[in-house]
Amino acid sequence: MERHSSQEHVPALRAEQERLAARVARLEADLDALTRARRGSVDDDEHDPDGEPLSARWSLLAGLLESARADARLADAAMRRIEAGTYGVCASCGQPIPEGQLEVRPFRERCVSCTE
């Protein structure tokens, strides 16, 4: 049986971790700035000068931040599975996850058939 080294995924996963960490930090900063902007405009807290409702923008950013954090957690979990030697093995059926599926979604814990 061909044993695929999960170590070869490490550079891509690390790059993805860094990308996600930067994304989380940027969204946190944006949300922070927006929170201050809302506080600074008590008289008209629903609209900024461009006419975009701040609350709508806040919800959008909060949603993006939430999903970025979820992705970051998946990336961390994938790195732990590499360390534990369980990366690339489906968490449901225990079969190796096809390489092509890992290329599309390097953080996946389950093969496509178990995900569906």
Which residues contact Zn ion by CB under 5 A?
A: 90, 92-93, 111, 114
Q: How far is the CB of 30 from Zn ion (least distance, A)?
A: 38
The C-alpha atoms of residue 98 and residue 51 are separated, in whole angstroms, by: 49
Q: How far is the CB of 103 from Zn ion (least distance, A)?
A: 17
Residue closer to Zn ion by CB (options 55, 92) is 92
Residue closer to Zn ion by CB (options 75, 111) is 111
Residue closer to Zn ion by CB (options 53, 98) is 98
Q: How far is the CB of 75 from Zn ion (least distance, A)?
A: 20
Residue closer to Zn ion by CB (options 17, 101) is 101
The C-alpha atoms of residue 55 and residue 59 are separated, in whole angstroms, by: 6
DSSP 46: T
Q: How far is the CB of 114 from Zn ion (least distance, A)?
A: 3
The C-alpha atoms of residue 92 and residue 11 are separated, in whole angstroms, by: 26
For residues 58 and 27, is the Cβ–Cβ distance under 8 A? no
For residues 90 and 101, is the Cβ–Cβ distance under 8 A? no
